[in-house]
Amino acid sequence: MRITGPGIWGDPPDPEASKGVLRRAVDLGVNFIDTAAAYEASERLIGEALTPYPEGLVIATKAGHYRPGPNEWPIDASPDAIRRQTEQSLRDLRVERLDLQQLHRVDPQVPIEESVGALKELQDEGKVRHIGVSNVTVGELRRAQSVASIVSVQNEYNLADRRSDDVIEACEAEGLAFLPWFPLGAGRLTTSGGALDRVAAKRAATRAQVALAWLLHRSSMMLVIPGTNSTDHLVENVAAAGLRLDDEDLTLLSA
């Protein structure tokens, strides 16, 4: 999402730098990249930077939003839109099959069963390997599961926003990956104080690293997807995977 231009729209000011961030991520051992048809130039930049894709690298994308302009996010998760966006993602990512295609958001005008049903049809055609859902309640997850096998859920979740605790519990019970979007609260957690400051000082880490490490400690099903268009931030984020928090840290952060 962050490798595109202002408003998550069009090319970034320096496309080659964005491609460099993608390549550096792979060099650092990152093996999962999350994008979406709605992230404008993102899929195309990924395809240009990383094809032929290294073995073991999983590219996840989404369908269900369309973009009339910068910072505009209307929803269209109709079967026709799902199919149209999926076909475009295949072209932009330069693949014959998407590793993981996710319903970006439930459309209030379209039953989730119809949206996921379109993904199931694409899966049956060999254009999608796995299906995930995003921005769902437990009830909506259950409805999606009545139509297709769901392997992942992507909801907003971070230290400051834990409204999806029940969704995480469902994922843990059923072995589904949970992808927290805005894992740093869109940057808000990098400037907050209190417990984050204390734990960061104790661990000689940044606030962002502590916030990401807390997510990894929160659940074994957690797949963290911090976004950046900065190589320095990328290296910092990846290093958070090696940060170990003790019970005192977790108690402070979970209060």
CA nearest to 77, candidates 127, 144, 2: 144
pLDDT band at 168 (very low <50, low <70, confident <90, very high): very high
Cα(75)–Cα(138) distance, rounded to whole angstroms? Answer: 20
The pLDDT value recorded for residue 184 is 87
Residue 190 confidence class, pLDDT cut points 50, 70, 90: low
What's the predicted TM-score (pTM) here? 0.95
Given a cut of 70, whether residue 252 has pLDDT beyond it is yes
Provide long-range contacts, Cβ within 8 A and 24+ apart, for 195-204.
195/252, 195/253, 195/255, 196/159, 196/253, 198/252, 199/245, 199/249, 199/252, 199/253, 202/249, 203/243, 203/245, 203/249
The pLDDT confidence band at residue 203, using thresholds 50, 70 and 90, is very high
Residues belonging to the active site: 39
Q: What is the pLDDT of residues 106-142, one digit of tens each?
A: 999 999 999 999 999 999 999 999 999 999 999 999 9
Q: For domain 15-156, give the CATH number.
A: 3.20.20.100
pLDDT, residue 240, reads 96
32 DSSP β-pair partners: 58
Write the pLDDT tens digit of every residue in 37-71: 999 999 999 999 999 999 999 999 999 999 999 99
The domain segmentation of the chain, as residue ranges, is 15-156
pLDDT at 255: 75
